[in-house]
Structure 1
Amino acid sequence: MFKHAFCIGTLLVASLPLQAQTDERGAARAQLEPKGFLYGIGLGVSEEIYQGYDRRVIPLPILGYRGDKLSVLGPFISYEVLEVNDIEILLQAAPRFQGFDESDSDVFRGMAERDFSMDAGLGVRYERNNWKFNVSAVHDVLDKSDGYELSTGLGKVFRSGPFFYEPSLTVSYLDSNHVDYYYGVRLNEATNMRPYYQGDNATNVALGFSVSTPIFFDGFTQLAFDYTWFDDSITNSPLVDSDGSFSVRLLFSKFF
Structure 2
Amino acid sequence: MRSFHLSVTKSSSVLVRTMTASALVVGLSMPFTAGAAEEERAEGTSSWGLGIGLAISQQPYTDMDRDNDAIPLIYFENDYVEIFGPRAEIKLPGLDITESSELEFNLVVDYDFGGYEEGDERILDGMDDRDGGFWAGAAVTWENEVVDVSAEWLADASGNSDGQRVTLELERSWEWGEHITLTPRLAAVWQDQKYVDYYFGVRSDEARFDRPTYDGKSGINTEFGISGNYRFDRHHSVFLDLEAVRLASEIEDSPLVDRSTENSVSFGYLYRF
Q: Calculate the TM-score normalised by the size of structure 1.
A: 0.88
Match of 1:140 in 2: 156
Q: Does 1:171 align with 2:182?
A: no
- Which residue of structure 1 lines up, in the alignment, with residue 74 of structure 2? 63
Whether the 8 Å contact between 1:15 and 1:253 is mirrored in structure 2 is no
Name the aligned partner's letter for residue 69 of structure 1. Y
Name the residue aligned to 1:113. Answer: 129
- Distance in 2 of aligned mates of 1:7 and 1:62: 11
State the distance in 2 between where 1:249 and 1:95 align. Answer: 19
**1:54-98, Cα deviation, whole Å (9 max, x unpaired):** 223443212242111201234310011121112110001112232
The amino acid across from 2:151 in the alignment is: V
Residue of structure 2 aligned with 1:183, choices 173, 193, 200: 200
More divergent stretch after superposition (107-116 vs 11-20): 11-20
Q: Is the contact between residue 63 and residue 73 of structure 1 (CA under 8 Å) also seen in structure 2?
A: yes
Matches within 5 A, 1:181-220: 181-215=198-232, 218-220=235-237
Give the direction of change, closer, same or farther, for the CA distance of 1:83–1:7 in structure 2 (3 Å limit): farther
Deviations 1:34-57 (A, max 9, x none): 723321122222111100112234
The partner residue of 1:222 within 223, 239, 251 is 239
Give secondary structure in 2 for the equivalent of 1:103: coil
1:90 aligned partner, one-letter code: N
The answer to whether the aligner puts 1:238 opposite 2:255 as a matched pair is yes
State the identity as a percent.
25
Deviation at 1:174, TM superposition (A): 0.2
Q: Which secondary structure does the structure 2 equivalent of 1:180 belong to?
A: helix
Work out whether residues 230 and 244 of structure 1, in 8 Å CA contact, stay in contact via their aligned partners in 2: yes
| Distance in 1 separating the partners of 2:76 and 2:63 | 39
RMSD of equivalent CA atoms: 2.6
The aligned amino acid for 2:87 is: F
Aligned partner of residue 107 in structure 1, secondary structure: helix
**CA separation of 1:249/1:15 partners in 2, compared to 1, >3 Å: closer, same or farther?**
same
Structure 2 unmatched ranges of 5 or more: 10-21, 97-101
Q: Which amino acid aligns with 2:248?
A: D
Q: Establish whether residue 30 from structure 1 lines up as the match of residue 50 from structure 2.
A: no
Q: CA offsets per residue over residues 198-238 of structure 1, 9 Å max, x none?
A: 10001010111111111179322211111100111100000
CA contact (8 A) 1:3 1:97 kept: no
Helix, strand or coil at the partner of 2:197: helix
Tell me the equivalent position of 2:114: 98
In the alignment, which residue of structure 1 is the partner of 2:270? 253
Report how far residue 131 of structure 1 moved: 2.5
What is the aligned counterpart of 2:173 among 142, 157, 161?
157
- Residue 3 of structure 1 contacts residue 98 of structure 1 at CA under 8 Å; is this kept in 2? no
Report Cα offsets for 1:176-201 as digits up to 9, x if no partner: 00000000001110001110001000
Residue-pair matches, total: 250
- SS in structure 1 of the partner of residue 35 of structure 2: coil
Give the aligned partner of residue 25 of structure 1.
none
SS for the counterpart of 1:185 is coil
Output the CA distance in 2 between the equivalents of 1:64 and 1:42: 13
Give the corresponding residue for 2:142. 126
Q: Which consecutive unaligned segments of at least 5 residues does structure 1 have?
A: 22-27
Q: What is the rounded CA distance, in whole Å, between the counterparts of 2:54 and 2:166 in structure 1?
A: 25
